Structure 1
């Protein structure tokens, strides 16, 4: 499911809300989660899942156009 499908599904289940208002709410939730993760916080939504950032060492990859080595 992509974000637009999620917005549509929520709007269908809540006919008293405008679709653009649902979209604003979904965007606000996702932005808040992204901000928390950017700060290094762990986000837990009980009954759904937990999100956290895991740092890893860069690995070597190649640019498919130029063949140049890049850190990924």
Structure 2
């Protein structure tokens, strides 16, 4: 699903125009990016948390040339899945697995 598909789905469920839904999604992602860039966490309880994480510099070796290089320190965006979201996805997986097992027994 891409942004356009998500806008369509949001428009249907919220009974708003696709244009407005697209604007809402754009504003949401802009705000999340802005707050994470400012060092804040953005937490949606049950869904997950967006934050920036410091990555230490590290020494690596180029496998082709064997030359040692240093990857500089950086901040990277991280999304941590919320407990409820994780459980929902896992429960769907377990349900699908049990349905497959039932079908295998029938055949």
TM-score, structure 1 normalization: 0.72
Equivalents in 2 of 1:37, 1:61: separation in Å? 31
Equivalents in 2 of 1:32, 1:3: separation in Å? 16
Structure whose alpha-carbon radius of gyration is higher:
2
Q: How many residues in Structure 1 have an aligned counterpart in Structure 2?
A: 65
Displacement over 6 Å in runs of 4+: none
> Is there any run of 5+ residues in structure 1 with no aligned partner, and where?
63-68
> Is there any run of 5+ residues in structure 2 with no aligned partner, and where?
63-68, 73-107
In the alignment, which residue of structure 1 is the partner of 2:4? 4
Write 1 or 2 for the structure with the bigger share of strand.
2
Q: Can you list the C-alpha shifts for 1:9-55, whole angstroms capped at 9, x where unaligned?
A: 1112133x111111101111110010000001011001110111111
Q: How do 1:1-72 and structure 2 match up within 5 A?
A: 1-15=1-15, 17-59=16-58, 71=71
TM-score, structure 2 normalization: 0.51
User: Relative to structure 1, is the Cα distance of residues 42 and 51 closer, same or farther in structure 2, using a 3 angstrom cutoff?
Assistant: same
Equivalents in 2 of 1:41, 1:47: separation in Å? 18
